[in-house]
């Protein structure tokens, strides 16, 4: 059971906007920045969003992140078939003295 | 940035294994390094990090006393020595850059299977 909670699945049609939530507590999401990773099954995770809302070089602008209190969200606009992947949020947990990952959300493009 | 793990394989319960990660494309000695694992069909679990100079390292509770992280800043290698392995340690193990703050780049992973 992850200390950071994500919905196990999400879906949308091409062109739609989808959001994925990430709910934590005061010791992790509430007090530290949130990063998002995406992982195509069988491959390594890649950084998608860091510091709650920053995009690394090369990540399209249709990916955006936000945080409020102990919750964070990843939004994907203009959904494309290649966005089908697993998405994970992560934050440092001050109480556990460890990085904690959400359980992951499998995004399906219908 | 390139991170290449090696050393995975099949090991019996109670056995030991050492994973290595060769880093290139960045100034290795400037960065914390982490190991993260993913059990088959499951999510990501951060295991450990080591500071840039190797003076500090931390572990999750489930591997404390069994796993040991180390680094060689001359050869640009970070290692994870694992002992007293159990079936619950079966996973793909990823080496990643960062840990003190952002974890940003990951290797391709190496599979460790603990089975008799």
Mean pLDDT in runs of 10 for chain B (116 residues)? 98 98 98 98 97 97 97 98 98 96 96 97
- Residue B75 has a pLDDT of 98
Q: How confident is the model at residue A90 (pLDDT cuts 50, 70, 90)?
A: very high
pLDDT exceeds cutoff 80 at A1: no
Mutation target to probe the A interface, by most A beta carbons within 10 A, among B2, B43, B60, B106 is: B43
State how far residue B94 is from chain A, nearest Cα, in angstroms.
8
- Residue A74 has a pLDDT of 98
Q: What is the spatial distance between Cα A61 and Cα A75, in angstroms, rounded to a whole number?
A: 10
- Residue B101 has a pLDDT of 86
Q: Are B90 and B113 in contact (CB under 8 A)?
A: yes
- Residue B105 has a pLDDT of 97
Let me know how long chain A is. 110
Across all residues in chain A, what is the average pLDDT? 96
What phi and psi, each to the nearest 5 degrees, are found at residue A95? -75, -45
Pairing status of strand B110-114 against strand B9-11? parallel
- Residue B100 has a pLDDT of 85
For B56-103, strand residue ranges (E) read 57-59, 67-72, 77-82, 91-97
Residues of A with CB under 8 A from a CB of B: 2, 35, 37, 43-47, 50-51, 56, 88, 90, 96-104
Rounded (10°) CA dihedral B71, B72, B75, B79:
-30
Closest CB to B102 among A35, A46, A103: A35
pLDDT exceeds cutoff 90 at A37: yes
- Residue B106 has a pLDDT of 98
Mean pLDDT to the nearest integer, A12-30: 97
């Amino acid at each position: 059971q992850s200390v950071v909670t994500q919905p196990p699945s999400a879906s949308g049609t091409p062109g739609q906007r989808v959001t994925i939530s990430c709910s934590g507590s005061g010791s992790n999401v509430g007090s530290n920045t949130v990063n998002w990773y995406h992982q195509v099954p069988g491959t390594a995770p890649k950084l998608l969003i860091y510091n709650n809302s920053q995009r690394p070089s090369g990540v399209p602008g249709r990916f955006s992140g936000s945080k409020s209190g102990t919750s964070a969200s990843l939004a994907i606009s203009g959904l494309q078939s290649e966005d089908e992947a697993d998405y994970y949020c992560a934050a440092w947990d001050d109480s556990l003295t460890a990085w904690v990952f959400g359980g992951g959300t499998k995004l399906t493009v219908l | 940035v390139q991170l290449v793990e090696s050393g995975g394989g099949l090991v019996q319960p109670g056995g030991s294994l050492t994973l290595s990660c060769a880093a290139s494309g960045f100034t290795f000695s400037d960065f914390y390094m982490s190991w993260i694992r993913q059990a088959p069909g499951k999510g990501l679990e951060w295991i450990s990090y080591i500071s840039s100079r190797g003076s500090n390292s931390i572990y999750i509770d489930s591997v404390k006393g069994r796993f040991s992280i180390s680094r060689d800043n001359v050869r640009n290698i970070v290692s994870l020595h694992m002992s007293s392995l159990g079936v619950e340690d079966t996973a793909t193990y990823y080496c990643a850059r960062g840990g003190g703050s952002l974890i940003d780049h990951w290797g391709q992973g190496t599979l460790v299977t603990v089975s008799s």
